[in-house]
């Protein structure tokens, strides 16, 4: 068996948790780092640390001071800043960097995707009077505030600390549904006409299958 390494995993994704479990099982010392966006993160194998590092410089210092052997960037594909920081910090600390890249979802027969490049374009692509499932991170909601004609069902993991800046909305405080049936039931119960989401890839795919089954359009923000 190879050398036991001390490894920092930049996480916040299912893939990061899976990688932590595998590496810990193989005897490596694992620390998973989360930004602290959710109040009750799922448990991970090994140690957990929460909060930013203070940029690439702070991350490089942390890697050196804590004696890590390797850095793994398993963050979300739309989390751009932390991935840039990881690249710079690994070089500064002289450590190998592994990047776990989640493939995007592929459009399949029956999918009605309206593909756009930005959240602003997604907002503008919503037809007047639509009822939209907004399946985005909480930090991306404010950009939709000007669509006062649209009813939003906003899915968030944690309740917001203050009212959202949307004219007409309701909240679904939950993680993404794990089955097509659960997502179909949600879409039907709220008479949703459109989904707005980003092409994250990975496990939150049940909503895409539900939209296909219900023949609903998905306004899909492409990978950066
Ligand atoms: P981001 O814009 O790329 O990062 C902003 C800042 O947050 C970073 O500069 C860093 O602060 C801190 N940060 C981000 N990820 C961190 C981590 N894993 N550990 C410690 N600090 C971290 O990131 P984001 O889009 O806000 O995503 C934050 C986290 O949520 C990531 O871990 C990501 O995997 C997870 N996540 C994101 C999404 C998404 O849609 N973006 C979806 C699901 C999960 P400092 O500069 O101070 O170090």
How confident is the model over 52-107, as pLDDT tens digits? 999 999 999 999 999 999 999 999 999 999 999 999 999 999 999 999 999 999 99
For ligand 1, say whether the CB of 122 is within 6 Å of any of its atoms. Answer: no
| Per-residue pLDDT at 114 | 98
Pocket test for ligand 1, best of 9, 35, 76 (most atoms within 8 A of CB): 35
β-pair partners for 49: 33
Cα dist from 78 to 95, 173, 224, whole Å:
24, 21, 7
CA distance 206 to 77: 18
For ligand 1, say whether the CB of 54 is within 6 Å of any of its atoms. Answer: yes
| Per-residue pLDDT at 144 | 98
For ligand 1, say whether the CB of 62 is within 6 Å of any of its atoms. Answer: no
Atom of ligand 1 nearest to the CA of 200: 40
Give the residue-averaged pLDDT of 191-205.
Answer: 96
φ and ψ at 46, to 5 degrees?
A: 85, -160
Q: Calculate how far, in angstroms, residue 67's C-alpha sits from the geometric centre of ligand 1.
A: 22
CA distance 13 to 205: 14
Is 80 exceeded by the pLDDT of residue 154? yes
Give the residue-averaged pLDDT of 172-201.
Answer: 97
Mean pLDDT, the chain, integer: 96
Q: Calculate how far, in angstroms, residue 215's C-alpha sits from the geometric centre of ligand 1.
A: 33
List, edge to edge, every strand of the sheet that includes 194-198: 112-116, 217-221, 194-198, 131-135, 151-156, 169-173
Share of the chain above pLDDT 70, in %: 100
Is 90 exceeded by the pLDDT of residue 176? yes
Do 176 and 115 meet the contact criterion of CB atoms below 8 Å apart?
Answer: no
Is 90 exceeded by the pLDDT of residue 137? no
Is 60 exceeded by the pLDDT of residue 1? no
Cα dist from 123 to 5, 98, 165, 171, whole Å:
45, 35, 14, 18
For ligand 1, say whether the CB of 78 is within 6 Å of any of its atoms. Answer: yes
For ligand 1, say whether the CB of 102 is within 6 Å of any of its atoms. Answer: no
Atom of ligand 1 nearest to the CA of 137: 40
Is 80 exceeded by the pLDDT of residue 2? no
For the record, the structure tokens of 216 come out as: 């609903």
Coil vs helix vs strand at 75: coil
| Structural element, H or E, at residue 55 | helix 55-65
pLDDT (tens digit, 9 = 90+) per residue, 7-63? 999 999 999 999 999 999 999 999 999 999 999 999 999 999 999 999 999 999 999
Q: Could you give the maximum distance between any two Cα atoms of the chain, in Å?
A: 61
CA distance 103 to 122: 21
């Amino acid at each position: 068996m190879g050398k036991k390494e001390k490894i920092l995993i930049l996480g916040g994704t299912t893939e990061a948790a899976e990688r932590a479990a595998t590496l810990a099982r193989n005897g490596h010392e694992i620390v998973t780092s989360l930004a602290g966006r959710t109040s009750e993160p799922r448990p991970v194998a090994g140690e957990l640390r929460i909060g930013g590092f203070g940029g690439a410089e702070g991350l490089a210092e942390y890697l050196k001071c804590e004696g890590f052997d390797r850095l793994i960037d398993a963050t979300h594909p739309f989390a751009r800043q932390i991935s840039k920081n990881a690249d710079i910090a690994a070089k500064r600390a002289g450590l190998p960097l592994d990047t776990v890249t989640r493939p995007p979802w592929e459009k399949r027969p029956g999918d009605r995707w309206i593909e756009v490049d930005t959240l602003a374009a997604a907002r503008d692509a919503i037809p007047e009077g639509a009822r939209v499932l907004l399946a985005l991170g909480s930090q991306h909601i404010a950009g939709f505030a000007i669509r006062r004609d649209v009813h939003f069902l906003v899915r968030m993991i944690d309740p917001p600390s203050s009212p959202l800046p949307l004219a007409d909305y309701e909240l679904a405080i939950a993680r993404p549904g794990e089955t097509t049936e659960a997502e179909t039931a949600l879409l039907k119960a709220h008479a949703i006409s459109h989904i707005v989401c980003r092409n994250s890839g990975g496990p939150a795919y049940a909503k895409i299958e539900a939209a296909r089954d219900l023949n609903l359009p998905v306004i899909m923000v492409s990978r950066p």
